[in-house]
Amino acid sequence: GLPLELDASDEAYVRAADKQAAFFGIALTEPIASDIKPFTAGAHLKFGSHDIEVIETPGHSMGSVVLYIKDERVAFTGDTLFRGSIGRTDFEGGSMLMIIQSLRMFVQFPDDITLLPGHGPKTTMGYELAHNPYLDR
């Protein structure tokens, strides 16, 4: 019963989810979401006792964000950063230049922060700095 929260830049993609799914050969039987609540970069979301900072990281899509929980030393990186790689930029709204600029924000994180990507295994900032060709300090 919760609304879907996302960056306003990506709202149109969610509203056209049936077309996006069809691109990948998937037929949706019901809408993804009818209740959408947009948020903006720099917003703080409250979830229980968690304070989640929304950090804008366009590149994979215009509305890509990282959800950072500073007190718990964890960041949900979505499709911006994966273990050893980055998200695709060849879809509509994607930009290699923008994702590279967004990755500059990541090097501000402490080395021991846990990064939880949208796909694949978790990682740390220290591991990424040592092994991810898209990152350096």
Domains of the chain: 1-39 (no CATH), 40-137 (3.60.15.10)
Tell me: pLDDT of 137 over 80.
no
The answer on pLDDT for 127 being more than 90 is yes
Across 48-56, average pLDDT: 93
Q: Per residue in 100-115, pLDDT tens? A: 999 998 889 999 999 9
pLDDT over threshold 90, residue 36: no
pLDDT for position 41? 73
Please report the pLDDT score of residue 3 as a whole number. Answer: 79
Return contacts of 127-136, CB within 8 angstroms, 24+ apart.
Answer: 127/83, 128/81, 128/83, 128/84, 131/84, 132/81, 132/83, 132/84, 132/85, 132/86, 134/85, 134/86, 134/100, 134/103, 135/103, 135/106, 135/107, 136/107
